[in-house]
Amino acid sequence: MTSVITDPLAELGEVAQLLGADDVLRDASSVAARVAEGLFYVACVGQFKRGKSTLINALLGEDLLPTGVIPVTAVITVVRYGAAPRAIVRFLDGAERAVERQAIADYIAEDRNPGNRKNVQVLEIEMPTPLLESGMCLVDTPGLGSVFETNSETTRQFVPHIDAALIVLGADPPISGEEAAVVEQIAQQVPDLLFVLNKADRLSATDVEQAAAFCRRILDARLGRGIEIFTLSALQPSTRDFPKLEARLAGLARESGADLVRSAEARALQRLGARVMHEIDERRAALLRPVEENQQRLQTLQRGVDEAQRSLRDLSFLFMAEERDLNVRFAAERDRFLENVTAGAVDELRREVRAADVRATALRDFAMRAAQRIAEQRVRTWLVEIEPRAERMYAKAVERFIALSRDFVGQFGDVAERIDFDQTFRTRRRFFFTTLSALTGRLPGASVVDVFRTRSSFLAKTLRDGEMFLRRLLNANSARVANDLTDRVLESRRRLESEIRRQLQNLVAAATRAAERARAMQESGADRVKGELDDLDRIATRVAEACR
């Protein structure tokens, strides 16, 4: 008779411990603990500086999490219900430490824990907040596309643990290609997605409406379903859609909380069970082969991996032609941008300068600032438009590279399933607008000449200088956008190659461990081998029953 497993995650954890799979044990124990308490994670996800920490503070009604003008959050932070406020830091080595509220930033802020040098796994905060009383946990995540690359990776690794997601977008620019790609990844396993268009106070009502429509159009196309967007400012709670968001979250906790907890357990069992079964299969297969055959297999496997590495290098050279073609297309997009916007930008600058109510001697400075503002607005609008198109171009170009990669990786069993063959950009946007401020200064002796100029003379010269400066700004920054896209294509392809190589190396490492254990068992005699096989069969049965 098959026994009934009352705590499948605990069972899976015990199995992982028997196999020495410590990483699976830690993961299973963590999920089991929150399932037992009926907790589910609503994660705030988005690009850096979208205001995720500020939004969580607004929902909590307290300035609990650190915020700032630079990327702040360095590690995952979970805020859950507790009768009294307290904070606990959990480290990667399993240690825990209670910390005072004023010390929270020492562990989660990038400037105080750069690159997570303190090896924090998670910081957990308990608060007596009514919104969290039914089991909802608000999770603050490091920003995607952060200048601190480890932060983006931390968020990506946390995606499988998300039960519902609060996707925080900005109103200017509204959404990036990287954000859209992560949303698509989350949507594959999380049915409940809420979208916040934050910082709406910085734009007019018309601009906010246009930004929301743009986000909805992009995401509808990505997800193939309608989405819910709340436009608000986390700095001004109780205005715009903020009350609606609070009501929606409260309804989610009340109506779907139990289902989300059950779904979290099911996903964890599937994910962790597959990892344990792979380890069991490797060990069983190694035990059934003679020592010499195991060694030959390892040698064959190593040769196959070496050949795959060479094939990967060959594919890289083939893809370089695609990269060159993309570079040409990005340059053509830039040319079209300049052709479409330059005349209108110049006309806008001329109108503003002519209408400026400033002294004649201050007219040039006014024109330089206006040129910078007009150019930046045009370039950033184009950036929002070109980025999704560029990502689609990249996806098309990398399509054959991925197909061929899958072919030669396919010989290694299920390795391909563990490789993220996502066709989106794998690196953050590095573009920033350059103001060319060094070009705005006056020439030596200009102030002496200016004394003798009439206002009409000032105006004519200012218009010439302003137009020239505006054109240089548009040229320089549009080139920076195109170059950034080119760099992202190159880096994305390199990271995909790195992911393939890493999984191939993991395959060899797992096979090596299994072969070494099999050798030890075989040297101890046939009875020891049989006993090990029986143990593995019993363990596999336990895993199957736990994941049923």
Residue 191 lies in a domain: yes
- In this structure, are 192 and 303 located in the same domain? no
Does the residue 327 lie in any domain? yes
Q: Are residues 298 and 176 in the same domain?
A: no
| 277 assigned to some structural domain | no
Task: Report if residue 11 sits inside a domain.
Answer: no
**Is there a single domain that holds both residue 315 and residue 222?**
no
Residue 140 has pLDDT above 80, yes or no: yes
Asked whether residue 184 falls in the same domain as residue 314, the answer is no
Residues 6+ apart with CB under 8 A from 170: 46, 47, 49, 50, 51, 197, 198, 199
CA 57 to chain CA mean position, Å: 21
pLDDT, average across residues 432-459: 62
Residue 3: what pLDDT?
A: 54
Same-domain pairing of 245 and 354: no
CA atoms within 13 A on the CB side of 512: 8
In a domain, 266, yes or no: yes
Whether residue 424 lies inside any domain: the answer is yes
Give me the long-range contacts of 315-323 (CB less than 8 A, separation at least 24). Answer: 315/401, 315/404, 315/405, 316/493, 316/497, 318/401, 319/397, 319/398, 319/401, 319/493, 322/397, 322/398, 322/400, 322/401, 323/397, 323/486, 323/489, 323/490, 323/493
Domain limit, last residue, from 242, 272, 302: 272
Note whether 144 and 213 are same-domain residues. yes
Is residue 379 in some structural domain?
yes
Give the pLDDT confidence of 382-407 residue by residue, as tens digits.
988 888 888 888 888 877 777 777 77
- CATH code of residue 229: 3.40.50.300
Same domain? For 133 and 203 the reply is yes
Beta sheet of 229-231, edge-to-edge order: 96-99, 86-91, 120-127, 77-81, 136-140, 40-45, 164-170, 193-198, 229-231
Whether residue 493 sits in one domain with residue 366: yes
Based on the fold, state whether residues 332 and 249 are members of the same structural domain.
Answer: no
Answer whether residue 495 shows pLDDT above 60: yes
Nearest alpha carbon to residue 386 among 484, 468, 273, 513: 484
The structural domain count of the chain equals 2
Residues 268, 332, single domain; the answer is: no
- 154 and 205 in a single domain? The answer is yes
Which of 166-170, 342-346, 440-444, 477-481 is predicted with the least confidence, judged by mean pLDDT?
A: 440-444
Which residues constitute the domain of residue 124?
38-272
Shared domain check, 233 and 156: yes
In the prediction, which pLDDT does 146 show? 39
Is 446 a residue whose pLDDT tops 50? no
Question: Is pLDDT at 472 greater than 90 in this prediction?
Answer: yes
Radius of gyration of the chain (CA): 28
Kind and range of the H or E run holding 53: helix 52-60
Q: What is the pLDDT of residue 212?
A: 84
Is 541 among the domain residues? no
